[in-house]
Amino acid sequence: MFYKRLVRPLLFLKDPEESHEQTLALLSRMGFLEGAFEWYFGVDDNRLQVKLGSLSFPNPVGLAGGFDKNGIAIKTWQGFGFGFIEIGAVTAQGQPGNPKPRLFRLPKDQALINRLGFNNDGAEAMRARLAAVQNNGGWPKIPLGINIGRTKVVETKDAAEDFLFTFETLFLYGDFFTLNVSSPNTPYLRDLQERALLTDLLTVIQEKNRELAAKGGSQEKPVLVKVAPDMEFAQLDEIVEVAQSKRIAGIIATNATAFLRESLVTRTEEPGGLSGRPLRGKVISFVRHLYQATQGRLPIIGVGGIFIAEDAYEKIRAGACLRGTRSCEADQSRAPQTYGTRRLQAYLRSCRQRRPEVTTADSSVGLQDKGDFSNVRLCQNDSASRSGRIISTLPRPIS
Ligand SMILES: Cc1cc2nc3c(=O)[nH]c(=O)nc-3n(C[C@H](O)[C@H](O)[C@H](O)COP(=O)(O)O)c2cc1C
């Protein structure tokens, strides 16, 4: 109510990028209120826990890449009840991004169009910032993902080197890494989704991953690939094949779309990535396809059009184990915490009361693994599974 009546109208008076930057700056100074936020927004419910290899997520709803590009508010996010955060996209070299205006609200469509173009301070600046947070004892308790993009001026032939630099620079700080080969706003970036280029990229990243892990006596970091929604399933299958052969930890589906304008109520010719509500159906179909094509063996993070708990739950039912959200500022009616897990928890509870067969939701949000990312299984979240015994395979996707 407070958000709807007071905060949102004020935010919507301003240019979307300006209000985003100001909100983020404010949040970055509110880390000290983390405990209070957690008390208000947080959810502690074993049924929502997800395990992915060595990583434990208190719940499956996270903040997707692009919201906190420079990682300035990492201490605050967990207070909002997110189960993980992904900062970035960060690129090897800092860059200003595309000319403004470059972010557009489409309130009637609950959507955003952005063509920011990876505006960020660069890998070295992020490393310094994260090191400072770590030294000050403000490190988040939830997994921190780092979303890596390609520097704009770097050519495709040098893209792998560019990604590698950022990966190496930030290796110590990320709990997992996302290779963003799917933003529509960096020219030719999406070419990296093609078989040969993707194979080269994943080969060098995973080699470096092994090397750095061996050097530091630590485990390899889970590396995920984020895909675009603008492709045929045949190309998605190729990506999955390459990802599995390179022992990628999961697929994030999806980034914003360069298309789908015909489905909008708002008439607009603005180029850029469309995200929010119009993306929802596409993402569900991608998640479902990925789940079926991999027989549930490759973890899927569903991103796109999550506004309420039912949206998150829909992705769970389609086969996703985690989901992220980004376009919250596009929403007409809800504060960011609405995405949070409290509603998902309540929704799961009401599903069980209304439709007993939907209790498989409980199994779909409790993820156990056998120590091998390529063979992650979901299990029912009862005492047996908490003790680690796998008692069922993946949840039934919606048919
Ligand atoms: C303003 C804006 C900036 C974004 N920046 C990034 C980014 O840097 N890296 C990335 O992987 N995705 C980025 N995205 C895509 C989102 O992470 C997400 O995949 C997409 O918006 C769909 O989710 P949503 O409907 O919840 O927004 C951005 C999206 C928006 C709206």
Mutate to test the pocket of ligand 1, among 23, 110, 120, 327 (most ligand atoms within 8 A of CB): 327
| 3-class secondary-structure state, position 40 | helix
Burial class (CB in 10 A: 0-12, 13-18, 19+), 348: buried
- CA–centroid distance, 326 to ligand 1, in Å, is 6
Atom of ligand 1 nearest to the CA of 256: 20
Mutate to test the pocket of ligand 1, among 86, 182, 263, 275 (most ligand atoms within 8 A of CB): 275
Per-residue pLDDT of the chain (399 residues; tens, 9 = 90+): 555 666 666 666 788 999 999 989 998 998 888 888 888 877 778 878 888 888 999 888 889 999 999 999 998 888 888 889 999 999 999 999 999 999 999 999 999 999 999 999 999 999 999 999 999 988 999 999 999 999 999 999 999 999 999 999 999 999 999 999 999 999 999 999 999 999 999 999 999 999 999 999 999 999 999 999 999 999 999 999 999 999 999 999 999 999 999 999 999 999 999 999 999 999 999 999 999 999 888 999 999 887 777 777 777 777 777 767 666 444 444 434 344 455 666 655 554 444 332 222 223 333 222 222 222 222 222 222 222 222 222 233 333
Sheet holding 111-114, edge to edge: 103-106, 111-114, 273-276
pLDDT at 43: 74
Closest alpha carbon to 222 in 145, 286, 337, 120:
145
Please name the residue that has the structure tokens 């995200």: 275
pLDDT at 8: 63
Dist. CA 319–CA 363, nearest whole Å: 11
pLDDT at 322: 74
Burial class (CB in 10 A: 0-12, 13-18, 19+), 128: exposed
CB 183 within 8 A of CB 139: no
Nearest CA to ligand 1 atom 23: 304
- CA–centroid distance, 316 to ligand 1, in Å, is 20
- CA–centroid distance, 147 to ligand 1, in Å, is 11
DSSP state at residue 22: H
- CA–centroid distance, 255 to ligand 1, in Å, is 6
Nearest CA to ligand 1 atom 1: 114
Sign of CA dihedral 67, 222, 183, 123: positive
- CA–centroid distance, 88 to ligand 1, in Å, is 10
Nearest CA to ligand 1 atom 4: 66
Residues whose beta carbon lies within 6 Å of some atom of ligand 1: 64-66, 69, 88-89, 103, 112, 114, 116, 118, 147, 180, 183, 226, 255-256, 275-276, 279, 303-306, 325-327
- pTM score: 0.86
Domain topology for 60-346? TIM Barrel (3.20.20)
Strands (E), the chain: 50-52, 55-57, 61-63, 84-90, 103-106, 111-114, 144-148, 176-180, 223-227, 250-253, 273-276, 300-303, 322-325, 367-368, 377-378
pLDDT at 80: 84
Nearest CA to ligand 1 atom 2: 66
Query: Residue 306 contacts by C-beta under 8 Å, 6 or more apart in sequence?
Result: 61, 280, 312, 315, 323, 324, 325, 339
Atom of ligand 1 nearest to the CA of 254: 19
Mutate to test the pocket of ligand 1, among 189, 255, 306, 325 (most ligand atoms within 8 A of CB): 255
- Read off φ and ψ for residue 216, nearest 5 degrees: -90, 0
Apex CA 11: angle with CA 5 and CA 17, to 5°? 160
Please name the residue that has the structure tokens 């489409």: 106
* Residues identified as active-site: 183
- CA–centroid distance, 241 to ligand 1, in Å, is 25
